[in-house]
Amino acid sequence: MDQTKLTEEFFLNKLEASKTHFERALECKHTEFDDLYPYMIEHPQFFWYKRYVAWSELLTIVQLCTDLEYDWTQHFTPQQAAYIEKRVMSSTVLDHWFETNDSKEHVG
């Protein structure tokens, strides 16, 4: 049986996949979760729960990277890393995850 080597590259690849999963959930795009629970789409709380599951997955992978002393922060903006370090998926995280300092539009 071929065994996967648990290397830094392995964990950082899992981190990238988890980040993508969370971002797709934020944007209400299709994720594996939709395939696992197709009946949930009809329920209003579905998108909140889908985001919660993706956030939990992201925090778990980050915690493993931290425990193994792998630098996970390089895969996120400083603001995103700060959200993750606080560990709370607040409305601020949901509303501002994709914001960058240079993307602010000026209303004239």
Show the DSSP H helices in 1-108 as ranges.
8-26, 32-36, 46-67, 78-86, 91-96
pLDDT band at 64 (very low <50, low <70, confident <90, very high): very high
Full-model pTM: 0.82
**Residue 68, both tokens:** 């193994």
Mean pLDDT of 61-80: 97
Backbone region of residue 89 per phi and psi (left: phi > 0; alpha: psi in -120 to 50; beta: other values): beta
pLDDT band at 46 (very low <50, low <70, confident <90, very high): confident
